[in-house]
Structure 1
Amino acid sequence: MNNSSTSCGGETPAPLSPRPLSHLDGAQRRVLSAAQLREHGVGPARAAARCAPGGPWQQLLPGVFLLHQGPPTSEERLRGALLYGGRHPASGAARGDVPRQAAGSPPAAPTDTAMITGLAALTLHGLAASPALTALDQIDVLVPRTRRLRSTGFVRIVRAHALPAAERVTGLPVAPVARALADAVAGLTDAAAVRRLLTEAVRDAHCEPAAVVRELSQARLLARPHVVDAVDSLLAAGRALAEGRLYEMVRTYGLPEPVWNVDLRLPGGPHLGGLDAYWPDHAVAVELDTRAPRHGRTPQDDVEWTQCARKREHLERLGIAVVHLTPRKLRDALELQATVVRTALLAAADREPPARVVVLPR
């Protein structure tokens, strides 16, 4: 007797023994790509038959099937969007999403070819200003620019020259907050909504202002007036946050209390510049560098850089040690920055006495 058989529509089953769908769990069992179905012995004709009117399945997106009737859940929509984008989310996602390999072989490269971005990503990251997943009509999926995909159904394809490193949220690959913000802002015209998203992202330490401005600049969004206004608010919130961390550094690590936010002048002479913190007895100054990066060098960048360099050189010629701190350094290595400042204070005794300057409130 011939062991070969045909399935619905005269379709020949896969040559390998099919794996039962029951070994999958959760949303994996409920939403699968055509390729995954073939691995389980379900070919295109059989899948199409099961999606016919009255059938138990439905086609969620091109090449993506929902293995039940009724509306998809938010998780099923996310997984379906990733499958359409070319990725196979699996239970091993939280462990690095590398393909199975023989024992003792070198680690395989990550297989991410798509990730959730835009408002859906911001919601997954926990931003309260982003709508609930159930309220989103579309899910943005970030893919390499070379992928031949079109936006369809509830999926909007967003292309990138190079994909950022995905972050795992609920086991799914999600774009970093700064990139997700840029992709979300690209589709928003509500100035208040843009401002809320940017401000919350920085205020709640999801990302640094510089990273957000860099992504917005690369996406050429800084020409939009409502985005520029939101960035101004963002930078103000970022500076306030950095100043708060600077206060925390001084008090947590027992540094002498400086005078805060001052201007320096030579007696009867010119203005030397503003400082965020200054220790007059040690002639040590701290300046926060919160300048926003831009995509590409501009004449304004050259002017700002020259002014900052001249200011620092002038102060150092007067015997004042200037410590430059960035918001990121204060966020990621507060104790190390405290050590840098403490070292500058201790070294004051070994330096020549500084020139006399007038300290004024800023």
Structure 2
Amino acid sequence: MTQNTPLSPLSSRLPRPPHHLQDVTHRVLSAAQLRARGVSAAQTSAHCLPGGPWQHLLPGVYLLHPGPPGGRERLHGALLYAGRPPASSRRTPPEPTDPGFGEAMVTGLAALALHGFAAAPELEALHRIDVLVPRTRRLRSSRFVEVVRATAALPEPVLLAGVPVAPVERALADAVAGLAEAAEVTRLLTEAVRAGHSEPAAVVRELSAAGVLGRPAVVGAVDALLAAGRAAAEERLYAMVREHGLPEPLWNVELRLPGGPELGGVELGGVDAYWPDLAVAVELDTRAPRFGAPEKGWRGGNRGPGRAEDPQWSAYAAKRERLERLGVTVVHLTPRKLCEAAEQQATVVRTALMAADDREPAAYLVVLPR
């Protein structure tokens, strides 16, 4: 539809929009932005009369054409609405380069759509756009805009398609908070890991901080998330070994003492890769905080003042200590490091393999499929 096309004879009596507004990239502007461009409040009101070329999209936000707003225009309008400054500071005209978003950022399903999630609806199909604002911000939800207040400090936004967007983990937590179907939640959480948007630990920590881990729709989804994260980490480990020319190990095996008890069974004796001739094992650290688990001290161990005991880390540490007493070198790798620095991690493993000749021979161990 041609912009500014009259819908009725009334529009022919209205002043035409200033020429310098014709090339505005986003046909959505706030009242402050219109004033800064020389459009008075009276002119704005006149253009928004029934049959006029503009329309009132949200409180203090205007759509500069008569047709229905597109998905990007609704997104832009939501940010302008949520980002408008408090009344006490509105006398200062905005800078020409100021987009007018303030500290507001898109979150929830709209943010996931911008992050490229296939499981998130298209922007045009969303009936609601979630916008994250500081917790002290006094602002009500309006029309299609749902205002979400941060419980602590705002996260650092990501700039996508020219708009500030909440990080994937925060966007997931806000999206999950508004979903009741377990299948929908599972699709979003597993895609976050399989598509490489995030790591399971970071997602679970954000879900825990948002207080949604105990919801029925989330419980099973978290199990699926962790399973997907484990599978993705194993694939990265396979790729690291083959792409960086490391010797082929025995994959996913359990180590036992011959004729003796298991070295902790599947939980404590299993390793993800093992080079028996060199007595080097690789262990993937795919731990994630679970329901009710304290967040402090989770990453990197369980020692230190005020840090809670992490049962999973204790199990990892006990297994590593026992294997190393038997002469096995255990290399710990995290999924994030495999993703972000695979070559560096390959060097760590290669160094351990090359140092095997300098160590005392390891105890003989039985290797079984896990």
Same fold (TM over 0.5): yes
Say if 2:316 is the partner of 1:316.
no
Q: Partners in 2 of 1:125 and 1:303 — Cα distance?
A: 34
- 1:296 alignment partner in structure 2: 295
- 2:356 alignment partner in structure 1: 348
- 2:209 alignment partner in structure 1: 218
Q: Partners in 1 of 2:311 and 2:200 — Cα distance?
A: 21
SS in structure 2 of the partner of residue 142 of structure 1: strand
SS in structure 2 of the partner of residue 276 of structure 1: strand
Say if 2:137 is the partner of 1:138.
no
Moved over 4 A (4+): 297-301
- 2:56 alignment partner in structure 1: 59
User: Which ranges in structure 2 are unaligned for 5 or more consecutive residues?
Assistant: 1-17, 86-94, 264-268, 299-306
Which deviations, in whole Å up to 9, do the C-alpha atoms of 1:116-171 show, x marking residues without a partner? 11111111111111111111101011111111111111000111122222112211
Say if 2:334 is the partner of 1:326.
yes
Shift of 1:25: 2.9
- 2:82 alignment partner in structure 1: 85
Q: Partners in 2 of 1:210 and 1:197 — Cα distance?
A: 15
Counterpart mapping for 1:249-264 below 5 A? 249-264=240-255
1:143–1:158 Cα contact (<8 Å) kept: yes
TM-score, length of structure 1 as denominator length = 0.84
SS in structure 2 of the partner of residue 165 of structure 1: coil
- 2:231 alignment partner in structure 1: 240
- 1:122 alignment partner in structure 2: 112
Say if 2:148 is the partner of 1:148.
no
- 1:14 alignment partner in structure 2: none
Equivalent pairs: percent with the same residue?
A: 67
Q: Which amino acid aligns with 1:307?
A: A
Shift of 1:54: 2.7
Which deviations, in whole Å up to 9, do the C-alpha atoms of 1:90-140 show, x marking residues without a partner? xxxxxxxxx789xxxxxx9x9850111111111111111111111110101
- 1:357 alignment partner in structure 2: 365
User: Are residues 187 and 270 of structure 1, via their aligned partners in 2, closer, same or farther at CA, if it must alter by over 3 Å?
Assistant: same
SS in structure 2 of the partner of residue 26 of structure 1: coil
- 2:24 alignment partner in structure 1: 25
Q: Which amino acid aligns with 1:215?
A: E
SS in structure 2 of the partner of residue 42 of structure 1: coil
Q: Partners in 2 of 1:142 and 1:348 — Cα distance?
A: 53
Among 37, 50, 54, the alignment partner of 1:40 is 37
Q: Partners in 2 of 1:100 and 1:152 — Cα distance?
A: 26
Q: Which amino acid aligns with 1:46?
A: Q
Shift of 1:86: 0.8
Q: Which amino acid aligns with 1:341?
A: V
Which deviations, in whole Å up to 9, do the C-alpha atoms of 1:198-237 show, x marking residues without a partner? 1112111122112211111111111112201011111111
- 1:203 alignment partner in structure 2: 194
User: Are residues 238 and 51 of structure 1, via their aligned partners in 2, closer, same or farther at CA, if it must alter by over 3 Å?
Assistant: same
Say if 2:283 is the partner of 1:287.
yes
User: Which ranges in structure 1 are unaligned for 5 or more consecutive residues?
Assistant: 1-18, 89-98, 102-107
Among 67, 71, 87, the alignment partner of 1:70 is 67
Aligned-residue CA RMSD in angstroms? 2.4
1:217–1:295 Cα contact (<8 Å) kept: no
1:218–1:295 Cα contact (<8 Å) kept: no
Say if 2:171 is the partner of 1:180.
yes
Among 185, 188, 205, the alignment partner of 1:194 is 185
User: Are residues 31 and 132 of structure 1, via their aligned partners in 2, closer, same or farther at CA, if it must alter by over 3 Å?
Assistant: same
Which deviations, in whole Å up to 9, do the C-alpha atoms of 1:310-361 show, x marking residues without a partner? 1111111111111111111111111111000000000111111112221111
Q: Partners in 1 of 2:173 and 2:244 — Cα distance?
A: 37
Q: Which amino acid aligns with 1:26?
A: T
2:251–2:273 Cα contact (<8 Å) kept: yes
- 2:343 alignment partner in structure 1: 335
1:121–1:175 Cα contact (<8 Å) kept: yes
Shift of 1:280: 0.7
Q: Partners in 2 of 1:61 and 1:166 — Cα distance?
A: 23
TM-score, length of structure 2 as denominator length = 0.83
- 1:6 alignment partner in structure 2: none
SS in structure 1 of the partner of residue 312 of structure 2: helix
1:81–1:155 Cα contact (<8 Å) kept: yes
User: Are residues 193 and 300 of structure 1, via their aligned partners in 2, closer, same or farther at CA, if it must alter by over 3 Å?
Assistant: farther
